[in-house]
Chain A
Amino acid sequence: MSYAELTEKYFRPGRLPHIWCPGCGHGITTGAIIKAIDGLGLDKNDVAVVSGIGCSSRASGYLDFNTVHSAHGRALPVATGVKLANPELNVIVCTGDGDCTAIGGNHLIHAARRNINVTVVLFNNNIYGMTGGQYSPMTPTGSKASTAPYRTIEQPFNITDLVQAAGATFVARGTTFHTAQLVDLIKKGIQHDGFSFIEVVSACPTSFGRANKCGSPGDMMKWQRDHAVMKLAWDKMDAEKQAEAKAAGKFPIGVLFETNAIKEYTKAYDEVIAIAQGGKK
């Protein structure tokens, strides 16, 4: 099926054009999600898309699946409930850096700790776009934002390391430039039986780009091309070279961590239900 036909099939009729600004990477990320779902041959009724609040979270309103547009930062609690109520559903969470790592930060680490089988797609545009360009926990140190007109002094989260440490069993990072790889990462995340986290390095030309003189939307995509390093190449660098690359703003992309050693939450819960109903102690 061509991409044009996919957008006809998976977007709700009459919802395009979307509200995202010119050059916003979220459209590409949402496109990657529908390509991944179609690639896996999932039925629309077997997919639930849950989102919080923010630019990224508008995605659920456009997509023609079971969807919930929940409260700010609370996409993961809602997704946890959806998954527990119906473990057969493929639950995909569309969330932004502000939504997921700031107001929803605690929900994120605990969902990861529980290893519940939901796929989190973090649309990371480094800023709160919708509310006017305030800096988020993912804004790089030294960037300008409407709440940091003289540059932010805070360090951003290394969110992939954070969720891995919290217990996520599939952790990946992609960019909106590397679209084919991004589709593949989302597919792997959906297939993985456990908490899957995919950070998508997206671009906000309107709020982040203008404040930080990043150039045109095309220039911001070229920045992703020039700063993303494939995981295989990254692993071949020694510690010194990796430190140099990090200092130059480079980052690894690909599957960063994966394990099947930990039991998935709904499966573990089913076992507890069986014990409780069987009268055993």
Chain B
Amino acid sequence: MSLKIITKRCKGCGICATFCPKQVLAVSEIEKIEVVNEEACINCGQCEMRCPDYAIFVEK
């Protein structure tokens, strides 16, 4: 797993999903971010850089 999501911190703003170039992420029904297409992740770090809640990190 290259993406580490700290669900407790996520507020479901969807910024990471908006800027993900590969549509790896989506906001779930309970307004938390989830990985929907892990294989497509290219570890670009856009989600980590833009998350205002320190809730998603790319582990290399």
Measured CB to CB, the closest approach of chain A to B1, in angstroms, equals 14
The 8 Å CB contact of A179, one of B50, B55, B57, is B50
**Across the interface, which residues of B come within 8 angstroms of A176, CB to CB?**
52
Measured CB to CB, the closest approach of chain B to A154, in angstroms, equals 28
One digit per residue, 1 when the CB lies within 8 angstroms of any chain A CB and 0 when it does not, for chain B 41-60 equals 00000001111111101010
B49 close to A217 (CB less than 8 A): no
One digit per residue, 1 when the CB lies within 8 angstroms of any chain B CB and 0 when it does not, for chain A 19-56 equals 01111111110010000000000000000000000000
A22 close to B12 (CB less than 8 A): yes
Chain B residue at smallest Cβ distance from A34: B54
The 8 Å CB contact of B13, one of A23, A180, A222, is A23
Contact A20:B52 (CB < 8 A) given known A218-B14, A221-B19: yes
**Across the interface, which residues of A come within 8 angstroms of B12, CB to CB?**
22
| Cα(A34)–Cα(B49), bound, Å | 13
The 8 Å CB contact of B54, one of A27, A180, A217, A219, is A27
| Cα(A205)–Cα(B15), bound, Å | 11
Q: Which residues of B contact A (CB under 8 A)?
A: 4, 8-9, 11-15, 17-19, 31, 48-55, 57, 59
